[in-house]
Amino acid sequence: MPDDLGSCCTVDDAFDHGAKRSGIEWPTLLLAIGIYAAWLLITAFHASVPFGLLVVVGGVIIAWHGSLQHEIIHGHPTATKWFNGMLGVVPLSLWLPFSIYHRSHLAHHRAEHITHPLDDPESHYVIRDHGWRARFATWEGGLIARLILGPPIRIMTFLVDETERAWRHPLDWARDWVPHMLALWPILWWLHHVNLSITDYVLAFVYPGTALTLLRSFAEHRADADAGRRAAIVRRGGVFGLLFLNNNLHAVHHARPDLPWYRLPDHLLQNEQIFAAAPVYASYADVIRRFAWTPNDGIVHPAFRGQEDWV
pLDDT single digits (tens) 27-59: 999 999 999 999 999 999 999 999 999 999 999
pLDDT, tens digit, 9 for 90 and up, residues 217-245: 999 999 998 989 999 999 999 999 999 99
> What pLDDT score was predicted for residue 191?
98
> What pLDDT score was predicted for residue 305?
85
> What pLDDT score was predicted for residue 21?
60
* Mean pLDDT, the chain, whole residue set: 92
The residue-averaged pLDDT of 172-201 equals 98
> What pLDDT score was predicted for residue 115?
95
Tell me the angle at which helices 143-168 and 207-218 cross, rounded to the nearest 10 degrees: 110
> What pLDDT score was predicted for residue 311?
55
- The pLDDT-based confidence of 174 (bands split at 50, 70, 90) is very high
Rounded to two decimals, the pTM is 0.92
Angstrom CA distances, 205 to 37, 55, 82, 110, 232, stand at: 15, 6, 27, 31, 28
Would the pLDDT of 2 be above 70? no
Would the pLDDT of 12 be above 80? no
d(CA 196, CA 79): 36
> What pLDDT score was predicted for residue 138?
96
- The pLDDT-based confidence of 5 (bands split at 50, 70, 90) is very low
> What pLDDT score was predicted for residue 10?
32
97 contacts: CB under 8 Å, gap ≥ 6: 91, 176, 177, 179, 180
Would the pLDDT of 286 be above 70? yes
Helix (H) or strand (E) holding 230: none
> What pLDDT score was predicted for residue 306?
73
